[in-house]
Structure 1
Amino acid sequence: MKIIVIGAVAGGTSAAAKARRNDDSAEIVIYEKDQDISYSGCGLPYFIGGKVASIMELTPRTPEFFKTKYNIDVHIHHEVLKINICDKNVIIKNLETGAIFEDRYDKLIISTGAQAFVPPIKGIELENVFFLRNVQDALKIKTFMNNHKPQTAVVVGTGFIGFEVMENLLACGIQVTLVERAGKLTPNLDADMSQYLEKLLKQKAIPILKNANVVEATAQGVILEDGSLVPGEMIIVATGVKPNVSLAREAGLLLGVTGALRVDERMMTIDTDIYACGDCIETWSSVTKKPHYRPLGSTANKTGRICGENITGGNVIYPGNLSTGIFKVFDISIGSTGLSEAEALKEGYDVEIVHNIKPDKPGYYGGREMLIKAIADRATQKLLGVQIIGYEGVDKRLDVFVTLITYGATVAEFFDLDLGYAPPFSTTKDPIHYTGMILDNALNNGRKLITPADLKKTK
């Protein structure tokens, strides 16, 4: 059997490696138009900031590695131009020589990833304007910093990458201004939690501009819609990504409602010999079971593994995801999973909301405030989603909440969790316990919760 994989980052290489473990005799070939493969994209901001000393630490695997360990042929600088479904072949261009050739497959895996969303900003092609999507982008940013020694920068967008780049530029002594088109920071948080995060950032003297639409980039900074200039010798555009699906669309494969490539639970497209994985595919919420687009490295690796399993005869089912995400800004950790309050209300859920503020550990052991927002369904008394902002231990609590949502625990069951306790790690009743207790009281013991909006109405 001949397996061709298009794309050699997280999804594609995971799929190829799993396929090889299952089938020693298959011929497996990967085509990648870039020069870097199987790299840690999530680590790129930390290379820019110097926390990762060498880019080689983020790109440990080479084509030679895959050939030696897995007997997989990886061809870099090779762009797949066309997929011919009827003839079961792909047309490839060698970007180094210009030669164009054909290769046939029995099974095909599409893992073409995502590309940076380019907003309609005049001057976006200037040499001081950067996106951060791959290794070469990171090297360009680092080279510019080394050559020009910028003192100021503008980061456009406040998603994961925007915040991580901001932190790492500040670590290099560069003054950074955050510019956000929306009325709140970071799309994965509700407005109330976003407001809390903004308060913490302002305490650290971070300049933040919301409702600010960038219309032009210049050598001196960005110009907003109102004509004002935000100074910045370098500009990072972190306005999100979109699925790279032109190849699949032109081949006649079906796209989903989000614009990403549609696959079933086994990662199969509408063609039984073509599978797909990674940032180019549409997945679905494990809460609502409805399609959504959530390009994350963890999801890419999981869907890649499922591709490799099923394309070699397995039958592994992908259950969907909770859009779980976490990032760090300075000493602040921000995590979320499941539905936000806004999403839950849009889906028609009757929700109970709790904002639980507790220390992450006892005050005598240096505990600091942790804010947990939990969204529960009144009908089933199960969690729909959680957002957490705090310092230490946010990841631990987030992962427990993910598990509770995944396995359908009711809020009354949270208190029964036998969580690890010692003063260096938590309070005797953990913030997770308290979250369940508060929701249980509200839902079952007649202790109605008052939201900030309700409180304002009483004044």
Structure 2
Amino acid sequence: IGGVIAEREKLFVQTPEAFGKRFNIDVRIRSEVVAIHPAKKTVDIRTSDGKTYTESYDKLLLSPGASPVRPPLPGIDNEGIFTLRNVNDTDAIKNYLQRHEVKRAVIIGAGFIGLEMAENLQEAGAEVAVVEMANQVMAPIDFSMASLVHEHLLQKGVQLYLEKAVASFERTASGLEVIFKSGERLPADMVLLSIGVRPNTSLATDAGLEVGEMRGIKVNDYLQTSDEHIYAVGDAIEFRHPLTGKPWLNYLAGPANRQARIVADNMVFGNKIPYEGAIGTSIAKVFDMTVAASGLPAKRLKQAGIDYLSATIHSGSHAGYYPDALQMSIKITFSPADGKLLGAQIVGYSGVDKRIDEFSQVIKHNGTVYDLMALEQAYAPPFSSAKDPVAVTGYVAGNILNGKMQPLYWRELQAADWSKVTLVDVRTPDEFALGALKGAVNIPLDDMRDRMKEIPRDKPVYLYCGVGLRGYLASNILLQNGYKEVKNLIGGLKLYKAATTPLPEPKEFSNSGSSSSDSSKVDHSEHSKDSAEAYTIASSVIPSMRAIKVDACGISCPGPIMKLKKSMEELADGERLEIVATDAGFPRDAEAWCQTTGNRF
């Protein structure tokens, strides 16, 4: 849809003819099974010309998949409202985009498909708004991690309507209107429904096969249904989750292929290979970002009543001194009893895929955070660091488990009575000046031993830094000098700010259809000047000035902002500074610094 894959035919793995010939299989397309008769071991099949015939079987495999949820809302059948599940849906959307000028696209549902479509519809020239009933995008990850995705989507100009429920749709003279239950109206030229899927179980239920509590086809360890001669695989089945032991629905291609291989052997040779279950390892591209998850996030562990702890780090994708090192944020959940790894989430850019696969293998094989420390990863500066981010999460979790560090989680800090604790910012004075938590005292890590007497010993001490490392080191200094209750903010100020900063009110569509994220054309920043003025500055004032270029790529906090400060001090009249950085939060920090120092950003 976005044009990344130019040839439609490349979407198809096989053709019926080639598949049938290669494997000597009778493939019957344009044929729908309309009934199963388990007692007779037959199926009724209707062909495209309307004729019906009966076929017999010894063993039967059901793989009917799932269908997109399309709620019976008023106006939902209007032209221009789509779901996306298969190639036919892709064709319908593509044709609509070619026949209509789509300037305003509304996506309802902020899951993987919804956010991937946000990118592709914007690429096709539309302004995009995402509507989601929950308070976050990407349900498989926790709110704090999703908040990093929110920041990225806003940077890209996507409007977020979170905690909004759709009531109906209307066709007007100017296009479609999405009407919220609150009464708000959102205009659109096209709407994509991406609010989930349901297992296709009608054939199974009509045949008297057992359906489970999640409303999927119930199967045993050998993927056998309640009828011993009928098996089932894929999106239509429910199977117990390896971590909770409770049935769940898992709509992922990898596990479906695994089930198919197992069931083929069990149908032919008898039930010899049990299916181990899937933990839901998934990954998606969201504009420049990669978002991945495996196992159970904190919110699902809480729902299931499973005790857990968590650790969050921010680490480079590879050695910082090698070009293009990009930061990734990783959160893991684990058992406080034995350190068993329960889940992992990553929001980053490069290198996310290989890390989530490592976490997935440890989770699937009942491994612990100690196994993360013991993993042996390939290391060379273009690919990793000597201490890989996966190992670092294990070290941080180990520090929490053995009491070497008392974690302070962002929700805990947000809910705390700050008057009853000593809040210490251990960053540098320059970082502190850029913005700090209200009431915090600034004692940089490297001054901690000399200024320790400034910290009272009669109440808890809460420490924070940029990403968590300096806070951990400072907590060790205080604990080793007799302080009793010392906690370090997990994930640092980076995570806390992302999770607690309210999202801006969504802006109305400009109706121009221009969705470029190029800052010289459209400025989406909260404090930006009028777009016309910004364009004038970019196109006429700046080119007349001599540019001093500074590389701040791959530098960890607080490096980029220190480079900015030092470089600006050396700047002469008539010169401008251009900094290239790989920290996604750096533009925000740089803009804040400019505002406090009277410079133009």
Smaller-chain TM-score range? 0.7 to 0.9
Aligned partners of 1:134, 1:155: CA distance in 2, in Å?
A: 17
Aligned partners of 1:406, 1:297: CA distance in 2, in Å?
A: 17
Partner of 2:49: 97
Query: How far does residue 321 in structure 1 lie from its aligned partner after superposition?
Result: 0.8
Partner of 2:566: none
Amino acid across the alignment from 1:358: S
Give SS of 1:363's match.
Answer: coil
Aligned partners of 1:312, 1:80: CA distance in 2, in Å?
A: 22
1:65 corresponds to 2:18: yes
Contact 1:258–1:293 (8 Å) recurs in 2: yes
1:446–1:363 CA distance, 2 compared to 1 (3 A)? closer
Q: Percent identity?
A: 37
Q: Unpaired segments of 5 or more residues in structure 1?
A: 1-47
Contact 2:116–2:287 (8 Å) recurs in 1: no
**CA deviation vs aligned residue, 1:25-53 (integer Å, no higher than 9, x gap):** xxxxxxxxxxxxxxxxxxxxxxx111111
Aligned partners of 2:303, 2:103: CA distance in 1, in Å?
A: 44
Of the three residues 391, 395, 405, the one matched with 1:433 is: 391
Give SS of 2:4's match.
Answer: coil
Query: How far does residue 276 in structure 1 lie from its aligned partner after superposition?
Result: 0.5
Partner of 1:38: none
Of the three residues 141, 146, 167, the one matched with 1:215 is: 167
Query: How far does residue 458 in structure 1 lie from its aligned partner after superposition?
Result: 4.8
Correspondence 1:31-70 to 2 at 5 A: 48-70=1-23
**CA deviation vs aligned residue, 1:290-318 (integer Å, no higher than 9, x gap):** 21011111122111121211100152111
Query: How far does residue 60 in structure 1 lie from its aligned partner after superposition?
Result: 4.0
Query: How far does residue 366 in structure 1 lie from its aligned partner after superposition?
Result: 2.2
Contact 1:222–1:232 (8 Å) recurs in 2: yes
Aligned length: 411
Moved over 3 A (4+): none
1:116 corresponds to 2:73: no
Give SS of 2:141's match.
Answer: coil
Give SS of 2:407's match.
Answer: coil
Partner of 1:267: 223
Of the three residues 88, 95, 101, the one matched with 1:143 is: 95
1:288 corresponds to 2:244: yes
Query: How far does residue 430 in structure 1 lie from its aligned partner after superposition?
Result: 1.0
Contact 1:66–1:73 (8 Å) recurs in 2: no
Query: How far does residue 79 in structure 1 lie from its aligned partner after superposition?
Result: 1.1
RMSD (Å) for aligned C-alpha atoms: 1.3
Of the three residues 29, 35, 41, the one matched with 1:76 is: 29
Aligned partners of 1:413, 1:261: CA distance in 2, in Å?
A: 36
Of the three residues 186, 202, 218, the one matched with 1:230 is: 186
Aligned partners of 2:125, 2:381: CA distance in 1, in Å?
A: 36
50-59 vs 212-221, which moves further: 212-221
Amino acid across the alignment from 2:360: V
Partner of 2:354: 396
Partner of 1:29: none
Larger Rg: 2
Contact 1:289–1:320 (8 Å) recurs in 2: no
Partner of 1:87: 40
Amino acid across the alignment from 1:125: D
TM-score normalised according to structure 1 size = 0.87
Aligned partners of 1:243, 1:178: CA distance in 2, in Å?
A: 25
Contact 1:120–1:215 (8 Å) recurs in 2: no
TM-score normalised according to structure 2 size = 0.67
Partner of 1:418: 376
Aligned partners of 2:65, 2:352: CA distance in 1, in Å?
A: 29
Aligned partners of 1:202, 1:369: CA distance in 2, in Å?
A: 18
Contact 1:181–1:211 (8 Å) recurs in 2: yes
Aligned partners of 1:188, 1:413: CA distance in 2, in Å?
A: 24
Aligned partners of 1:450, 1:72: CA distance in 2, in Å?
A: 60
Bigger RCO of structures 1 and 2 (CA < 8 A, at least 6 apart): 1
Contact 2:102–2:125 (8 Å) recurs in 1: no
Amino acid across the alignment from 1:89: T
Aligned partners of 1:273, 1:67: CA distance in 2, in Å?
A: 24
1:243 corresponds to 2:195: no
Aligned partners of 1:349, 1:215: CA distance in 2, in Å?
A: 36
